[in-house]
Amino acid sequence: MRKFWDYEDPITIRSEKNVLRYYPQADQLQISRQDWQDDDGVTKKGKTVTLNIEALAACDEKEKDKARSIFQSILDVLQ
């Protein structure tokens, strides 16, 4: 099985402390710490977690309501 990051270029957002990579075709959102360089100067991805959006959409309505509330709070901060 091919990994979504091998065939899809993400929409990337970098902040001072995090990197968000959104893969719309795969319905995946990754949140990482900043990229870093190893002793050989090779850039590495920071520690990462992935949100499977399709799996979130399959939750029951009570759980989706909680998710909507969280995302709305984030949108309010970004205004």
pLDDT at 5: 86
Question: For the chain, which residues make up each domain, given as ranges?
Answer: 4-78
The pTM of this model reads 0.85
The tens digit of pLDDT for each residue in 1-56 reads 679 888 999 999 999 999 999 999 999 999 999 999 999 999 999 999 999 999 99
The number of residues in the chain equals: 79
Mean pLDDT of all residues in 45-69:
96
Helix (H) or strand (E) holding 49: strand 48-52
Q: Are 28 and 40 contacting, i.e. CB atoms less than 8 angstroms apart?
A: no
| Annotation: CATH topology of 4-78 | Transcriptional Co-activator pc4; Chain A (2.30.31)
Mean pLDDT of all residues in 52-68:
97
